[in-house]
Structure 1
Amino acid sequence: MMRQAFSLFVLLFTLVTAASAQDARWIQIEAQPTLAAAEDRARAWEGLFQDVNGFSTGSGWYVIALGPYTDAQAEARRAELRGENLIPGDSFVSDGASFGPMFWPVGATTPGVPEPDAPLADAPASDVPAPDATAPDTAANLTSEPDQPAFIDETPDEARASEAALSQTDREDLQRALMWFGFYDSTVDGAFGRGTRASMAAWQSAQSLEPTGVLTTRQRADLLSAYRAEETAFGFQTVTENEAGIEASLPLALVAFDHYEPPFVHFTAKDGGDTRIILISQPGEEAALAGLFDTLQTLQIVPASGPRANDGKSFTLRGESADRITEAYATTARGMVKGWLVSWNPATAPDMQRVLTMLKTSFRPIGDRALDPGLVPLSAGSKAGLLSGLEIKRPRLSRTGFYVDAQGTVLTTAEATAQCGRITLDTRTEARVLASDTASGLVLLKPASPLSPPASAAFTPATAGAEIAVSGYSYEDTLPAPVLTYGILEATTGLDGEATLNRLTLAALAGDAGGPVLTASGAVAGVLLPKGTGARQLPEGVAFAAPASAIAPLLQQAGITPATATDQTALTPQDLSARAQGMTVLVSCWE
């Protein structure tokens, strides 16, 4: 009986006050995450306006609003103030449904609604009509039992009826709000299908509400108010980059435009942090997109670990490490590549997923213009300074290897793979250790996906005194192709008579280690070993190689049958170089 009496009382109160309450409108101009910050801002706004009010919300934010007004007054007032640039461009009219207790002015109660012809802009604060002393301050005062709601909400049927009156923009805003809070991840189209209904139900469950999948008027107001409050905190504004031909909503409370460096438009952190947003714009089609995809992965700002995919028309990539997350996207259309990159420290900017959500839903190419590669001609020194943070990643060390079968299995020295976070072949293809031999100091590498090398090794023994050449990346990753270093096979044993070593007279460099020792016919007589690090000091020009006979057991261990060279015809220098380049590969070790 008590519940029925209470419900009847609330209904009567609602009917009596509906005529005035439904006309109450506010211009929400700002939201802050703490009460102290909100009070400071309200005090500042009060120096400009006389009808400043502050309300707490159920989402933990503090709203600053002008009002109250009638609906017509609020729209006219907002248009006037925005036209004079006196309030933020993203200020909006709210019905105050999500407003909680007032915190500003201190000790105040909710103001009454002015008459339609009441003055607005210049009225002193004392002229604002006082609340009716005979009426309750808020509907919350009606609660007589702890478990009773503070307002009468809609039934599911009533909620569907009110939802049907929403405009296309209103429906899309609800989807954006659900997406912002992580409940919706599909297209923002205003169509409330199965996916949108499921996300609404999930949001309701998170708010300890009945998960009907249909939001009531109050629930929609709460969701949108929380969404707009966070939007305001991030300072999202639509940025139109005419030079780049891109439009997107960016968090200008966090970042600001810094400089152009084609194909990048740089936005850097305002607070001296390391959050970065980069808009990408350049002429080109699939080839340019593929080149950009490869280039981004070589930047210091993009961690090596993380998913990435390129379907030829667009790509996505995400790099993750303990102190850096970077996400990028680009697409090609009408001869132009457009995209974005966002990079942040997860410890100092944990809410950046919200920024990503907004960027993904707002990003769009505009016009028929891409960033001119010659827009900002720079000296080498200036360019290096502006690209700070986008330096090319370099491997810890690089050595040489060579293909030993048609699937792209690579033989190299163990030195090239020791203590590596990852291993790459020619800086592009990921590889792992397939088999190793401690005695010989050699390893076999298997590429992450099968390769089709132009050439692979065919083995043959060599005799003492024979002319040989080593194909290697002498200068590690500095040069784009291997070079041939010529020498002599001095002996088929080591200095102490070891049968597992060949002694060479050869001016090799550190990067050559792991390279194939080639005979004049292009057959592989062995693999160059790194210079020893023991106490014995060898004269310059002395090097050692593991002969073909020492390589065979490792290949057989991995199930590879070594190919035997049958043609001993000497090749021309050009043909020998071409064969060497076809089988030689750069092996890089990364942190």
Structure 2
Amino acid sequence: MKRLLAALLATGFFSGPGWAQDGGVWLQVEARPTLSQAEARARAYAGRFDAVSGYALGSGWYGIALGPYDPDEARRLLGELKAAGAIPGDAFVADGTQYRSRFWPVGARGDAPGRASAATAPDGAAAPETEATVAPAPSELPAPAAPRETLAEARASEARLDRAAREQLQVALRWAGVYDAAIDGAFGAGTRAAMAEWQRQNGFEATGVLSSSQRAALIDAYEAVLDGLGLELVSDDQAGIAVEMPTALVARGEVRPPFVHYDATGDLDAQVLLISQSGGAKRLAGLYEIMQTLEIVPPEGPRGLDARSFVIEGADANHVTHVEAAVIDGAIKGFALIWPAGDEGRRQRLLSRMQASFAARPGVLEPAAVPADEAQSIDLVAGLELRRPLRERAGVFVDEAGTVATAAEAVAGCGDVAIDGLRGASVEMADAASGLALLRPAAPLAPRGIATFQTGVPRIGDKVAVAGFPYGGALSLATTTFGRLADIRGPGGEEDLKRLELKTQPGDVGGPVLDMGGAVLGLLLPGDRQEDRVLPDDVALVLESETLLDALDAAGIEAKRSEARVEDTVQAVARRAGEMTALVSCWE
């Protein structure tokens, strides 16, 4: 390896024609979770290589890179240096787009690649020589390392480890992703295989027995993940909670029961919420449901609730969120950790420390202790934004199991569909031609009311009602709007449509249109159903009941029918409409 490095240095490879002034690439050799570690590693590389740079990568990580080089020469150099063991086996060619501010060489401008060349000063003049950029002569290379520990010596030093040290090694191997068995301090076949895999991944001979220096490197890497977080035990007397927190990254913010907010203080988009409120199992279940509606809790991920506790995890491209709470001495106590995606090693270590240190103490947040302010909003829960669906429409319950008929537009392009807030509904049928869709709930529902369909022919000019959700899910019951039947055919003479004189809102689409006896005449369709025709604001189209009944028959659903013409009060029709109308929510 030294001969290869000396040869490359002697030929000026790292500072001569091999450098690419424009359009070059880098060899990223390492990434470290703290600036101090990254500077130390950059200094070590600068003792062997010229052209060492360090850049912030985002999410709290820092990268050490060699270059820039011509792309072809970079790929050749990458293979040679890996083969010689001069750089880690997971080093790779990087185009520099991920690099942010520059931290190495010390005193260098904080320019990202492309803004200032690594081989020139910012004004185009030759870069001044520094200790970090001058290649040492072969005679100045570091002295040879001490002789490696033999396998017998490694076994002997391992035998002197106590149980706690052996268990710590297993924990570190598990953190490194190579061990998934019990933490018992017994180095059996599973532990030996994990050690061998760790050695392979880190460029060592896979003996299955870690040498003293390898054990130190593994433990140092395990502990280094938490460097720079400022972990301290924080006791929040108002919440009645003590827990270790990354105080270098978050600081106490506003109190909005049931949460105390600890918000990010720097570039790392991290947040901790302490959860504290009085209550038992029933209130815990309510909190469990509310937490899953918050924007900070991605919908994808495992979660579970029992009588005394719950755990929620959610992950998307930006964040990973962990929430846990339990009933403790008549109060609900817990925490939420919101952490940037792509930093799983630190997140898992921090989470385990928070879980191990969490303690409930006297005190609980009470809503009355915090005055109301102008920041209150129906879209917020305790200062946190609610997750909103793509769209919210109406539908009508057609059987006792909770099957819903709605407009096809309501469910177009949805990743998930909810009926009255219950997600996971399946789209049994969606017909773009008629504009009708049928939904089945994820679990059987118990609707307050079921539609009865009018099979008689209504009279033009009859008073009608439309039930829907013009305000989305802000109201728990459907709103009823009254108007007139303008025609028993569509504007173009369509037999399957009716035309209303009625002003509707998008949230009414898919809702039932009723006569004044409470029987369903059809479903409200969107006003822009036909691309080349825009209806006036006071005109609405209805998919008539006969088409709905044909679809229900085809689906094996026996719908209620009536030919009776009954005249009831506005209040009675509105009550009947509210009972049979479902909120249909479309989610990504």
Q: TM-score, normalised by structure 1?
A: 0.66
Residue 507 of structure 2 corresponds to 511
Q: Which amino acid aligns with 1:33?
A: Q
Determine if contact 1:261/1:386 at 8 Å carries over to the other structure: no
Q: 1:387 to 1:517 in 2, by over 3 A?
A: closer
1:521 aligned to 2:517?
yes
1:453 aligned to 2:453?
no
CA apart distance, 1:248: 2.2
Residue 135 of structure 2 corresponds to none
Structure 2 CA distance, aligned partners of 1:184 and 1:237? 29
CA apart distance, 1:544: 2.0
Residue 444 of structure 1 corresponds to 438
1:307 aligned to 2:308?
no
CA apart distance, 1:527: 0.9
1:152 aligned to 2:144?
no
Residue 261 of structure 2 corresponds to 266
Structure 2 CA distance, aligned partners of 1:549 and 1:502? 12
- The DSSP-based 3-state class of the residue aligned with 2:323 is strand
CA apart distance, 1:459: 1.5
Q: 1:166 to 1:540 in 2, by over 3 A?
A: closer
- 2:412 aligned to which of 418, 421, 424: 418
Residue 396 of structure 2 corresponds to 402
Q: Which amino acid aligns with 1:395?
A: P
Structure 2 CA distance, aligned partners of 1:37 and 1:214? 26
Residue 463 of structure 2 corresponds to 467
Q: What does 1:66-465 align with in structure 2 at a 5 Å threshold?
A: 141-142=146-147, 149=150, 152-154=153-155, 162=160, 165-166=162-163, 177-178=172-173, 180-182=175-177, 192=185, 198=190, 202-203=194-195, 205-208=197-200, 223-347=218-342, 349=343, 351-359=345-353, 361-381=355-375, 390-462=384-456, 463-464=458-459, 465=461
Residue 547 of structure 2 corresponds to 550
Structure 2 CA distance, aligned partners of 1:386 and 1:502? 40
Determine if contact 2:455/2:562 at 8 Å carries over to the other structure: no
Structure 2 CA distance, aligned partners of 1:240 and 1:438? 58
Residue 45 of structure 1 corresponds to none
Determine if contact 1:468/1:518 at 8 Å carries over to the other structure: yes
Q: What does 1:465-504 align with in structure 2 at a 5 Å threshold?
A: 465-504=461-500
CA apart distance, 1:514: 0.9
**CA deviation map 1:110-144 (0-9, x unaligned):** xxxxxxxxxxxxxxxxxxxxxxxxxxxx996455x
Structure 1 CA distance, aligned partners of 2:566 and 2:251? 66
CA apart distance, 1:382: 8.5
- 1:34 aligned to which of 15, 38, 42: 38
Determine if contact 2:402/2:446 at 8 Å carries over to the other structure: yes
Q: Which amino acid aligns with 1:269?
A: A
CA apart distance, 1:513: 1.4
Determine if contact 1:318/1:327 at 8 Å carries over to the other structure: yes
Structure 2 CA distance, aligned partners of 1:386 and 1:415? 28
Q: 1:474 to 1:365 in 2, by over 3 A?
A: same
- The DSSP-based 3-state class of the residue aligned with 2:453 is coil
Structure 2 CA distance, aligned partners of 1:199 and 1:31? 32
CA apart distance, 1:198: 4.2
- The DSSP-based 3-state class of the residue aligned with 1:298 is coil
- The DSSP-based 3-state class of the residue aligned with 1:153 is helix
CA apart distance, 1:337: 1.6
Determine if contact 1:201/1:212 at 8 Å carries over to the other structure: no
- 2:561 aligned to which of 560, 564, 567: 564
CA apart distance, 1:433: 1.9
Structure 2 unpaired stretches of 5+ = 1-33, 45-61, 64-142
- Of the two, which has the highest radius of gyration? 1
- 1:582 aligned to which of 568, 571, 579: 579
Structure 1 CA distance, aligned partners of 2:379 and 2:266? 20
Q: Which amino acid aligns with 1:506?
A: L
CA apart distance, 1:313: 2.6
**CA deviation map 1:475-521 (0-9, x unaligned):** 22332211222233343222333210122233322221111122333
Q: 1:500 to 1:359 in 2, by over 3 A?
A: farther
The alignment-based identity, stated in percent, is 37
Q: Which amino acid aligns with 2:236?
A: E
- The DSSP-based 3-state class of the residue aligned with 1:588 is strand
Q: Which amino acid aligns with 2:305?
A: N
Determine if contact 1:262/1:282 at 8 Å carries over to the other structure: yes
Structure 2 CA distance, aligned partners of 1:179 and 1:383? 45
**CA deviation map 1:278-335 (0-9, x unaligned):** 2222212222222222222222222233333223432222222222332222222322
Q: Which amino acid aligns with 1:449?
A: A
**CA deviation map 1:520-552 (0-9, x unaligned):** 333222111222465556555332211111112
Q: 1:384 to 1:398 in 2, by over 3 A?
A: closer
Structure 1 unpaired stretches of 5+ = 1-29, 41-59, 62-137
Q: Which segment drifts farther, 283-292 or 198-207?
A: 198-207
Determine if contact 1:430/1:448 at 8 Å carries over to the other structure: yes
Q: Which segment drifts farther, 284-293 or 370-379?
A: 370-379
Q: 1:353 to 1:229 in 2, by over 3 A?
A: closer
Determine if contact 1:314/1:329 at 8 Å carries over to the other structure: yes
Structure 1 CA distance, aligned partners of 2:219 and 2:378? 44
Q: 1:227 to 1:288 in 2, by over 3 A?
A: same
Structure 2 CA distance, aligned partners of 1:200 and 1:366? 40
Q: Which amino acid aligns with 1:556?
A: D
